[in-house]
Chains A and B, each alone.
Chain A
Amino acid sequence: MHLFKTRMLTLFRNKIVIFWSLIFPIVLSTFYSLAFSNLNTTTIFDTISIAVVDSEEMNQVLLGFLEEAKFDEEKNMFKVNLKSEKEAKDLLEDNKVVGVISTNQDSVTLMVNNSGLNQTIVKTFLDEYLQTTTAVMDIVVLSGSNPEDIINELYSNTSYIDDGSNEYSAINMLLIMYFSVIGMALIYGGFWGTDNILNLQANMSTKGIRVAVSPVNRIKIILIFTACAFLIHFGIISIVLLYMRFILGVEFGDKTLYILLVCVLGSLTGITFGSFVAISLKKASEGVKIMTTVLVGVVGGFLSGMMVVDMKYIIQTKAPILQYINPVGVITDSLHSLNYFGATSRFFTNIGILCVMIIAFTIGTYLFYRRDSYESI
């Protein structure tokens, strides 16, 4: 118990780590709040101009959905330009539309010139449409129902466009920035994990030699140190969340328990990541170990949209694997999907990925840590 108390005290007084975990995210989120507070209303809600190739085989049902889709009660999601294929391509070439949709009864093709949020919205809309029509056809085959009735039923239930719960009607770029700051702050739990290892490994510090020569069980002491790191880091993250919610007025929605779940797992991911980095890069200096955590936090945050919101969508479309191996990205997407879709499979997939990361980093750390004697000190 005394070890626990003293370790808590030590971590609590570690000013550098407190700065990166607490002060830096607060300063950054405050800066975002001051600099970008009207982002959500100025950029996102513009209607997206698209071209649809006018042909005899054109899918009229899809065309109807495209024309009726709305961001909110007043604003259409798309401005549809019915054009010939050549005219449509010319518009795309001149950047007058973000994409060209060619359809027939069997397939839908989207042509875009570059990546970005608007292109992603169009693509996701089409993906949703295709998934829905596939589901409808399956139901028709199995039940013999009228496809039109089913489609009407589906859309009346999901309220895809009108009820404000869908991704694009409520996208708030600033919120993505806040989420990526939280993701970064959670990964900065890595500092605490690194500090634990540096203080416990005899081949990394003289304090580690003292601990290694003492009669305290190694597994017991790393568990104590990790518990302390988690409690303090989670406490700090809670302060960051409270600051964002009550000082900056960030609306996280009503899914507090799920947000806390993300923070618990995010904090553990950060701490175990830092431990793994510290113990696996055994010959690297303390500075290199800390810099690795900083880089993963900052670069991971950047790839998750912390500095450029479009980056999150570029990664999703161009290099989706990065989305899954970037812990900041996974945390950001957890909060993002929770906020826009609720606790859906996307959210739980992210939660699962975080759990896998925690287990992988823990096993990796254990494999190095269990060695009681070293080759060199």
Chain B
Amino acid sequence: MVIKVENLVKTYKSGVRALDGLTFQVRDGEIFGLLGPNGSGKTTSINCILSLLKYEEGKVEIFGKEMTPTSYDIKKDIGIITQNVAVYDELTVYENIDFFCSLYVNDKSERKRLVEEVIDFVALNDYKKFVPKKLSGGLLRRLHIACGIVHKPKLIILDEPTVAVDPQSRNKILEGIKQLNKEGATIIYTSHYMEEVEMICDYILIMDKGKTIAEGTKEELKDSIKLGETIEIELKEPNQSLIEEVSKLERVIDASYKDNTLIVKSLKGKSNVGDILNLIQVHNLEYDRIYSELPTLNDVFLEITGKELRD
């Protein structure tokens, strides 16, 4: 195990209980996703794991040793990438990476090699002498990531690294994370974007109000809920009697309109698409598009908590 968190309890002075008995483990070489809505306790968990925050109860072990603020032997193998960019405006791209590398590596030639490698990795070769202010948002984010991984840590913690990042840069970041994982790093990835977590994580823990509400692989999580399929059909005109008949179909658990779109949720099993289309024809209704979607992590969250991930 790379990380072992047991029964973590953290209450802020305001009285808000941010972590309420959180327990989980991260295995060597996996990409571990910590998914939850804003305020669910993801960042607090990370800060407690890193001993940046005090907590009342619980235990954190990293690489088999208890993590404390002075566990320098553990810290040398950790890389942190925070939600907000952490670079010096006064230093160039190269100098920034070199500075943060020097917190871990004393040898000058070794440092130079690592800095060059990471600049290659994040494709900032053409911007080495640029100061952060001259970089676009995406490039700045790449610099931020480079500063966190330059020392080739065994454990990389990314706390919502794609917030306010354009889609193109986001994809590059996600690809980079997968690449780092392939090269042997264990990754903890926190996000409230379920698509990202679903795309890159091997194991996912969904949390809310400081507690684990579900965990497993994405397949295990989706299998754990009743929902099997969500069908959406864009109708020219909604029809109330159609809804009543659709609701009576086998395995249908909910049917409703959102504007002119009929939304039907069904249990696992045979798809209801054919039956619903038949009913639409019987009512002589016109329709545009049909979507059939398998359960998402949002559905998992919704079914367990009764609210959307992005509420």
Contact = CB atoms under 8 A, between A and B. Distances in A.
Contact of A372 (B70, B84, B86, B147): B70
Contacts of B90: 9-11, 13-14
B73 A215 contact: yes
A211 B47 contact: no
A327 B186 CA distance: 52
Given A202-B52, A213-B80, A216-B103, A373 B72 contact: no
A203 to B, nearest CB: 8
Interface in A201-237: 202, 205-207, 209-217
A376 B15 CA distance: 12
Chain B contact residues, majority secondary structure: loop
Nearest to A212: B52
Contact of B106 (A2, A10, A13): A2
Contacts of B100: 210, 214
B49 to A, nearest CB: 10
A9 B91 CA distance: 8
B80 A210 contact: yes
Interface string B82-104: 11111110110001001110111
Interface string A335-377: 0000000000000000000000000000000000000111111
Contacts of A13: 90-91
A69 B219 CA distance: 100
A6 B90 CA distance: 10
A214 B91 contact: no
Contacts of B73: 215
Interface string A1-39: 011001001110110000000000000000000000000
A211 B148 CA distance: 11
Contacts of B51: 372-373
Nearest to B82: A206
Nearest to B16: A376
Contact of A377 (B53, B88, B98): B53
Instruction: Give the interface size class of chain A.
Output: 20 to 34
Contacts of B54: 373-375
B84 A214 contact: no
Interface in B97-131: 98-100, 102-104, 106, 108, 111
B12 A209 contact: no
Contact of B75 (A9, A10, A213): A213
With most chain A CB atoms within 10 A of its CB, the pick from B13, B47, B72, B104 is: B47
Contacts of A377: 47, 52-53
Nearest to B75: A215
A314 B80 CA distance: 55
A2 B114 CA distance: 15
Contacts of B87: 207
A376 B12 contact: yes
B108 A209 contact: no
Contacts of B75: 213-215
B209 interface: no
B85 A373 contact: no
B64 interface: no
Contacts of A209: 52, 80, 82, 86
Contacts of A9: 90-91, 95
A376 B55 CA distance: 10
A47 B72 CA distance: 71
A13 B131 CA distance: 11
Contacts of B276: none
B69 interface: yes
A363 B72 CA distance: 25
B78 interface: yes
B102 A6 contact: yes
B102 A2 contact: yes
B103 A211 contact: yes
Contacts of B52: 202, 209, 212-213, 373-374, 377
Given A215-B72, A375-B12, 7 more contacts: A6-B95, A206-B83, A210-B148, A213-B50, A214-B75, A215-B75, A374-B53
Interface of A: 2-3, 6, 9-11, 13-14, 199, 202, 205-207, 209-217, 372-377
19 contacts: A6-B95, A6-B102, A9-B95, A13-B91, A199-B88, A205-B86, A206-B82, A210-B82, A213-B50, A213-B78, A215-B73, A215-B76, A216-B103, A372-B68, A375-B12, A375-B53, A376-B12, A377-B47, A377-B52
Interface of B: 12-13, 47, 50-54, 68-70, 72-73, 75-76, 78, 80, 82-88, 90-91, 95, 98-100, 102-104, 106, 108, 111, 147-148
